[in-house]
Amino acid sequence: MRTWTTILTLGILTACSTSTDNEQTDQTTDTTTVQIDTSTMLIDNYDQEDQLTFDHIDIDKVPYWYADYDSKTKTDVLIKGLLVDETSKTAGNLIEILNKGQDTQIVFDKINSDTLYVKLTDSYYVTERSGTTGAQWYMASATFTLTEIGNVNYVYFDFEVGSHLSSGVYDRQSFEGLKIITRHNKG
């Protein structure tokens, strides 16, 4: 299985320099609550003829949500790895999976009501070096994976704000423009 470093490297290669709604516009505050119009969010179940294939990852062996670019449809996609449902959905286990091979580490803080609170260490890579798309992919993958935890609907990410990403509350509605793929067929 390839590491998250490979995923973010690919994100850098395909990253665009346009801003997203997740970027902070008021530099006087450290956090923001992300509000996205979900009417443009695409949710899809690919059929056999639309099956996605990626040379750099075996999606059948991925225990997390995975972001990538589908060159066939020219769309950023977020794919639920086939092993997500078989993975122990505890905060510690999912954070360990997401941290594997990463420079930026997710650190558990607490769960309060339906919100998981985490901190990102060494967030410079994600906030400054991965580009807007790479940062969005990282946050989407982490948010969707961490909201697999029962009763967790929101993730509060605490980190030093950068050019491409702001700390704050994220949920599954926070990623406008990503095509969400909840299942796919094995080849």
Per-residue pLDDT tens over the stretch 34-59: 333 333 334 444 443 345 555 555 65
Give CA–CA dist 129/162, Å, rounded.
9
Q: Give the tokens for residue 134.
A: 């790479």
Whether residue 6 is predicted with pLDDT greater than 70 in this model: the reply is: no
For the four alpha carbons of 40, 46, 49 and 55, in that order, the dihedral sign comes to positive
Instruction: Supply the pTM of this predicted model.
Output: 0.70
Tens of pLDDT along 62-90?
Answer: 789 999 888 888 899 999 988 898 899 99
